[in-house]
Amino acid sequence: MIRFECDYSEGAHPKIIRILTETNFKQTAGYGDDEYCEKARSLIKEACGAPQADVHFLVGGTQANRTVISSILRPHQGVLSAFTGHINIHETGAIESSGHKVLTLPCPDGKITAEQVENAYQEHWSDETHEHMVQPGMVYISNPTENGTIYTKSELTSLSEVCKKRGLPLYMDGARLGYGLVADTNDLTLEDIARLCDVFYIGGTKAGALFGEAVVIANPALQKDFRYFIKQNGGMLAKGRMLGLQFLALMEDGLYLDISRHAVGQAMKLKRALSDKGYRFLYESYTNQQFPVMPDAHLDALSQKYAYSFWEKIDDAHSAARFCTSWATREEDVEKLISDISAL
């Protein structure tokens, strides 16, 4: 079985294994208060052109989302999100569990617009009985989205402007951020993101780390007491250095983007092959996730040798599937898959 069903099927990039091994017997303080974390934080702030930012390392994405969102909202506020947002669908209600409603906006492809945010704001505040409703308190976006799509600089700028105007902190879930940054269609840099978002995270789990997400709180007004939130939400790793070490490896010498480029390169090869075969795509993705709509018979045939994610039923004879590549995807496996697809 060759696995394309997600981007976390293997361990970690060898450089990460190496740095963990090399430093294994070094004694350090716990809870992220060590030199490796300190150095990794510096590298990230530098890469983001954000010396004023606070950087915190958390273990996983659901934890990061829950921790960030609960640190920002007051109890009567909710978070605006695409209906398809990870926080709305795939986190077992972690946001609600911390007391907040996810205020969903419809979207065809995982992205929401500045206009939708402005309308939601207007709709709330123009209602006479607004205190009977959850108040929009911040905006959550994912980039790339759960559908593989990405925001343009223009779109993110518009979102950022309406958020600033309406006092709604803008938070970007970057679980797969690297795969977005290297996409052909991308025109955003880490500096742009740090300037346009109040908080975002650079995903490690899905981009070469054993685990770990680097939360960047770019807006100083939102930095206060954040470590309490990490601890309360169960995210304060005793051996916190492991998070620092992994991000040290990822941020040095451009490894994070190299990894992402490899994955997206393989995904684009696959995309062309799927397209050549005549399949359409559910979403226009130029990142490491591809969503072809295929005959069920073809999907069944592939499932003998390949793991992919079933996405949704399209009609009686077709379904959409998700194929993912990652830092660890082997060129030869992609070639095999392409060849088997052509032969269908």
Q: Kindly identify the residues of this chain, within the stretch 284-343, that bind its own copies according to CB under 8 A.
A: 307, 328
For 49, list phi and psi in degrees, rounded to 5: 55, 40
CB of 46 to its own copies, least distance (A): 25
Q: Which secondary-structure segment (H or E) carries 140? A: strand 135-142
CB of 19 to its own copies, least distance (A): 10
The C-alpha atoms of residue 145 and residue 142 are separated, in whole angstroms, by: 5
* 55 touches its own copies by CB under 8 A: no
Report the DSSP beta bridge partners of residue 294.
Answer: 319
Query: 165-224: which residues touch its own copies (CB under 8 A)?
Result: 205-206, 210-211
The C-alpha atoms of residue 60 and residue 213 are separated, in whole angstroms, by: 6
* 8 touches its own copies by CB under 8 A: yes
- Residue 93 or 254: the one with the smaller Cβ distance to its own copies is 93
Q: Is the dihedral of CA 79, 72, 53, 87 positive or negative?
A: negative
Query: 126-145: which residues touch its own copies (CB under 8 A)?
Result: 129, 131-135
- Residue 229 or 323: the one with the smaller Cβ distance to its own copies is 229
Peptide bond into 292 cis (omega under 30): no
Give the total of residues touching its own copies (CB under 8 A): 76
Q: Pick from 220, 228, 253, 297 the residue near its own copies by CB under 8 A.
A: 228
Q: Is the dihedral of CA 301, 307, 308, 310 positive or negative?
A: positive
Q: Which of 86, 114, 116 is nearest to 102 (CA)?
A: 86
- Residue 23 or 157: the one with the smaller Cβ distance to its own copies is 23
Q: Pick from 63, 289, 290, 325 the residue near its own copies by CB under 8 A.
A: 63
Q: What is the torsion angle, in degrees rounded to the nearest 10, for the CA atoms of residue 251, residue 254, residue 257 and residue 261?
A: -150
Q: Pick from 44, 59, 82, 139 the residue near its own copies by CB under 8 A.
A: 59
CB of 106 to its own copies, least distance (A): 12
Residue 150 contacts residue 144 (beta carbons within 8 Å): yes
Binding span for its own copies by CB under 8 A among 49-57, 64-72, 109-117, 264-272 = 64-72
Q: Pick from 35, 51, 94, 263 the residue near its own copies by CB under 8 A.
A: 94
Q: Is the dihedral of CA 244, 176, 182, 215 positive or negative?
A: negative
Residue 233 contacts residue 63 (beta carbons within 8 Å): yes
- Residue 60 or 265: the one with the smaller Cβ distance to its own copies is 60
- Residue 75 or 254: the one with the smaller Cβ distance to its own copies is 75
Residue 209 contacts residue 4 (beta carbons within 8 Å): no
Residue 43 contacts residue 230 (beta carbons within 8 Å): no
Please list, in sequence order, all residues whose beta carbon lies within 8 angstroms of the beta carbon of residue 335, skipping any fewer than 6 positions away. none
- Per-residue x/- mask for its own copies, residues 14 to 43, rule CB under 8 A? x--x--xx-xxxxxxxxx------------
Range 121-126 contact pairs with CB under 8 angstroms and sequence separation of 24 or more: 121/162, 121/166, 121/168
* Cβ neighbours, 10 Å, residue 62: 19
CB of 191 to its own copies, least distance (A): 28
Q: Pick from 35, 52, 93, 297 the residue near its own copies by CB under 8 A.
A: 93
* Cβ neighbours, 10 Å, residue 205: 20
* 236 touches its own copies by CB under 8 A: yes
CB of 312 to its own copies, least distance (A): 11
CB of 60 to its own copies, least distance (A): 6
Q: Pick from 35, 75, 154, 297 the residue near its own copies by CB under 8 A.
A: 75
Binding span for its own copies by CB under 8 A among 40-48, 194-202, 225-233, 292-300 = 225-233
Binding span for its own copies by CB under 8 A among 43-51, 55-63, 145-153, 163-171 = 55-63
